[in-house]
């Protein structure tokens, strides 16, 4: 009888806890989709891609130029004196180092711009999510990449993208 009473009390306690947990509203959001498909996110990606491709062409041309100079220098190795060859090879080495430095600086600049754009989008999304959660009594918002399966009615991605597009139509990257 003693165990039976304990069993009833514990069962009642668990049923109450389950009822309380059932009242929490949990939704999910595809953050990658929001960042990539919002107007500001698409604009930033297009700008960065265009900038990268334009400069990549310049770097490829410069690299071919340096290779041609190197081949030309090697072809003239027997004709030039040691001092002239050494001077020309030093100049070529400096040009190559300068090229590598410029390319590295450009790639760092692109990475920094991408990171800043992402941070700006995330900072803008945060208050939107908080306001939406308050309005709809949402307890928890989870990123979709951490969900194996779920009801599509709990996906708030499209709503957040629409609100983000109204709040931040574009990013000013330069």
Query: Does residue 172 belong to any structural domain of this protein?
Result: no
8 within a domain of the structure (yes/no): no
Instruction: Say if residue 17's pLDDT is above 70.
Output: no
pLDDT above 80: residue 2? no
pTM tops 0.85: no
Q: What is the CATH number of the domain that holds 47?
A: 3.30.910.20
- Domain assignment of residue 3, yes or no: no
Minimal CA–CA distance to 31: which of 153, 156, 171? 156
Q: What is the mean pLDDT of the chain?
A: 84
75 is a domain residue: yes
SS3 11: helix
**CB-count burial class (<10 Å; 0-12, 13-18, 19+) for 41:** buried
pLDDT, tens digit (0-9, with 9 covering 90-100), for 24-80: 788 989 899 988 888 888 888 899 999 999 999 999 999 898 888 888 888 887 787
∠129-111-114 over CA atoms, to 5°?
Answer: 30
Is 107 inside any structural domain?
yes
2-11 long-range contacts (CB < 8 A, ≥24 apart) are none
């Amino acid at each position: 009888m003693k165990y039976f009473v304990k069993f009833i009390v514990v069962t009642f306690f668990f049923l109450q806890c389950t009822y309380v947990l059932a009242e929490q509203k949990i939704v999910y959001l595809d953050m990658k989709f929001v960042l990539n498909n919002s107007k500001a996110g698409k604009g930033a990606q297009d700008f960065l891609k265009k900038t990268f491709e334009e400069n990549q062409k310049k770097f490829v041309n410069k690299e071919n130029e340096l290779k041609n100079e190197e081949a030309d220098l090697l072809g003239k190795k027997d004709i030039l004196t040691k001092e002239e060859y050494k001077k020309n090879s030093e100049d070529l080495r400096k040009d190559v180092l300068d090229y590598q430095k410029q390319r590295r600086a450009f790639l760092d600049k692109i990475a920094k711009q991408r990171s800043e754009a992402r941070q700006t989008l995330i900072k803008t999304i945060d208050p939107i999510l908080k306001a939406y959660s308050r309005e709809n009594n949402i307890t928890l918002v989870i990123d979709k990449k951490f969900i194996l399966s779920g009801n599509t009615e709990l996906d708030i991605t499209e709503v957040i993208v629409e609100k983000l597009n109204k709040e931040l139509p574009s990013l000013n990257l330069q």
